[in-house]
Amino acid sequence: TPSDTSSFMSYYKVYSSDTTAPTLFWSSPGPAQTVSGRTFGVSVFSSDDHAVKEVKLYMDGAYMATTACENVGFRCQLYYEWSVGAPGQHTARFEATDWMGNVGVETVNFTVG
């Protein structure tokens, strides 16, 4: 009887020389923006020349959330529903990490009115 032999081959790239950090863009809140209300949708997009692994959010120095990027995507979005803090100046810090450990950072100062 004939035997069924199947083979499987997978391909992947190893980026051992990736020294470029992910970039962050289209942050919300934007720089110097004034926000109000009980909650605010904080978000940012990240892209990388190879692949973004995760994006983290810190508000006023306190960790808030992490978005693990699906599969091996060149782009990733973090979205977090923030309970709006006290009136005054606040800082959102976004950190995007790629699979080689390179970290891109964007810090946004904004106001709660």
Question: Half-sphere exposure of 83 toward its Cβ, with a 13 Å CA cutoff?
Answer: 1
What pTM was estimated for this model as a whole? 0.83
Would strands 39-47 and 23-28 be described as parallel, antiparallel, or unpaired? antiparallel
d(CA 40, CA 7): 51
Strand-pair partners of 74 = none
Check residue 70 and give its pLDDT: 79
pLDDT over 70 (residue 62):
yes
What integer pLDDT is reported at residue 81 of this predicted model? 98
Mean local confidence (pLDDT), 50-73: 91
Task: Kindly state the percentage of the chain with pLDDT values over 70.
Answer: 83
Name the residue type at position 5.
T
Single-letter amino acid, residue 112 = V
pLDDT band for position 37 (50/70/90)?
A: very high
Average pLDDT value for the chain: 89
In sequence order, what are the residues at sequence separation of 6 or more whose Cβ sits closer than 8 angstroms to the Cβ of residue 30? 108, 110
The predicted structure's pLDDT at residue 73: 65
What is the per-residue pLDDT for 38? 96
Task: Evaluate if residue 20 carries a pLDDT over 70.
Answer: yes
Q: For residue 29, is the peptide bond before it cis, meaning its omega torsion is within 30 degrees of 0?
A: yes
Cα 94 to Cα 104: distance, rounded to the nearest angstrom: 8
Which amino acid would we find at residue 82? W
Q: How many CB atoms lie within 10 A of CB 80?
A: 18
What are 24's strand-pairing partners?
46
More confident residue, 100 or 6: 100
Mean pLDDT, to the nearest integer, of 32-55? 95
